[in-house]
Amino acid sequence: MSSQPPGKGFDLIVVGTGFSSSFFLYSYLKKAKKNERILVLERGKYDSLDWQLENKSSASLDFSKLFINRNRDKGWYFAPGYGGGSKIWWGCTPRMLPNDFKLKSRYGVGKDWPISYDDIEEYYCRAEEIMAVSGPDNTALFPRSRPYPQPPHLLSDPDKILQEAYPDRYFPQPCARAREGTKNRNICCAAGVCDICPVDAKFTILNELDYIYRDPRITLSLQSEVKNLNVNGDSAVSVEYMKNGVSEKARGELFILGANSIFNPFILLKSGLDHPMLGKNLNEQVSKNARVELDGVDNLQGSTSITGHGYMLYDGDHRSDYAACLIESYNVPHINGLRAEKGKWRQRMYLKFIFEDIPSPQNYVKISDENPELPETVYIDFSDYTRRSVEKLPERLNELLKPLPVEDIIISDIINITDGHIMGTAVMGDDPETSVVDRYLKHHRIRNLLVLGSGSYPTCAPANPALTLSALALWAVDHL
């Protein structure tokens, strides 16, 4: 085993190069000393956009071989390698709503977060600035202290009908798919393959934050798989990792885990930092799709891949009984599908319904018994709270879509296998007995260790998690 020579430890060691690590570093570097030594360990390679397009794959490392999942009905999807989830996300950046942070006290279900919407509003704004988010003007549902950096995308004609019917609850989706070009990104042209954007229009770590990894204070080590942290008393002292088949060790003062919500708890478990909640509450939203056949209204005129965002089924007293649901309206001909009937080719909406779930400890990440070098996901089911909402969808949808000239509504029987969001496995809270990290994402016991990412989420709002976890990384830096 090779080690850092004595006296050559790092001030900061960061694991991962996805959203949370990169947003953390973005803010941290502004405050760090000029001679600070930072080591960033990334398990995968640098897979450029050209490589991704050529191979029609977001990562050269096969994510499915990195963990064991015995539940064929429930997938977990992520992109290993430099840039992490930013390579495959669709750039959807809704904020969570104020009530999402207080589900227990407001509706009597789930848990409250230890922080409020107001606590992180400023950090939402900063994250949106970094991503150059395009968004609507009417945001009473999620009050803003400043406008979105970019103007909203254009809605399609059926979207406009719904916006007129629900002016405060249906509007252009806030997103990091550029409405206006930036120095590093082109304008979105609704190609509809946002997992690997062919025109480089969505925000990624590769196009907008790559420069931070060239900072002379940072040593970026690719293909470095972190195995565990070494702890002495209540402090982390070093990290062990494999690089080119050789076991390495690096000493540090401050440690940041910015892998995803399968690998963060796995590293902590391998480090012997057991906690009753560590790895528990593995969850993500539950979603299904519907096609709405229209009579006489063409679709697909919008300026981006997902145009409308509907909050009509999201917040309200019903959340005491069944889950909130967020609606996305797609504007992509090959996803919406074109109709064959003469003149009706574009008269169809394709909607996605995204339901929150109440996390349960029956779903979790553990060290695999079969191969202790791999994490294993155990997922039994989502909650009855969510199932009730899914079951009510047909009835609610008939009512909801009355403003549109609807010929037929075809709701898929299938629950989507995954939404590519992994949450809940290193939960935040004020009580060290019931949570792994505190409100600033610091480990309750190991105070020089932060566990970033959506693993800290106490509940799972319908909103996509990337913006919130990026904002939380910025928030964590300000509370070091």
Partner 1 sequence: MAEKISRRKFVIITLFSGVSLYVAGWWAFKVRKGDASDIIISIIRKKLGYMKIDKSEVKRFAGDFQKTFSNKQRLIGGWAGMLRPFYSLLDIHKITPFSDKFKNFEEYAVTTFLLSCDFFRNGADLSREVKYTVLYDPYEIGCENPFANY
Among 66, 141, 193, 406, interactor with partner 1 by CB under 8 A: 193
Interface with partner 1: number of residues (CB under 8 A) = 28
Nearest to partner 1 of 190, 476 (CB atom): 190
Rounded Cα distance between 234 and 189, Å, is 51
- Closest Cα to residue 453, out of 267, 272, 311? 267
**DSSP alpha helices (H): ranges in 135-285?**
157-165, 205-208, 263-270
Q: Does 72 bind partner 1 (CB under 8 A)?
A: no
The DSSP letter of residue 174 is: P
Q: In the window 39-68, what residues touch partner 1 (CB under 8 A)?
A: 53, 56
The piece of 2-10, 100-108, 227-235, 296-304 that touches partner 1 (CB under 8 A) is 296-304
For position 88 contacting partner 1 by CB under 8 A, the verdict is no
Q: Work out how close the CB of 366 gets to partner 1 at its nearest, in angstroms, rounded to a whole number.
A: 32
Nearer to partner 1, 187 or 237 (CB): 187
Region of residue 7 (phi > 0: left; psi between -120 and 50: alpha; otherwise: beta)? left
| Spatial separation of the C-alpha atoms in residues 398 and 480, rounded to whole Å | 50
Strand partners, 250: 239
Q: How far is CA 457 from the centre of its chain?
A: 11
**Beta carbon nearer to partner 1, 302 or 453:** 302
Question: Should residue 342 be labelled a site residue for partner 1 when binding is judged by CB under 8 A?
Answer: yes
154 binds partner 1 (CB under 8 A): yes
The correct pick among 20, 204, 304, 363 for binding partner 1 (CB under 8 A) is: 304
Residue 338 contacts partner 1 per CB under 8 A:
yes
Query: Minimal distance in Å, beta carbon 312 to partner 1?
Result: 25
Residue 291 CB, shortest distance to partner 1, in Å, is 10
Kindly tell me which of 179 and 444 has the beta carbon lying closer to partner 1. Answer: 179
CA distances from 203 to 144, 179, 212, 458 (A): 21, 11, 15, 27
The residue from 152, 192, 258, 424 that contacts partner 1 (CB under 8 A) is 192
Long-range contacts of 221-224 (CB under 8 A, 24+ apart): 221/39, 221/40, 221/41, 221/42, 222/42, 222/44, 222/45, 222/46, 222/82, 223/42, 223/43, 223/44, 223/45, 224/41, 224/42, 224/43, 224/248
Q: Contact residues for partner 1 (CB under 8 A)?
A: 53, 56, 154, 187-193, 196, 198-199, 300-304, 331-334, 337-338, 340, 342, 345-346
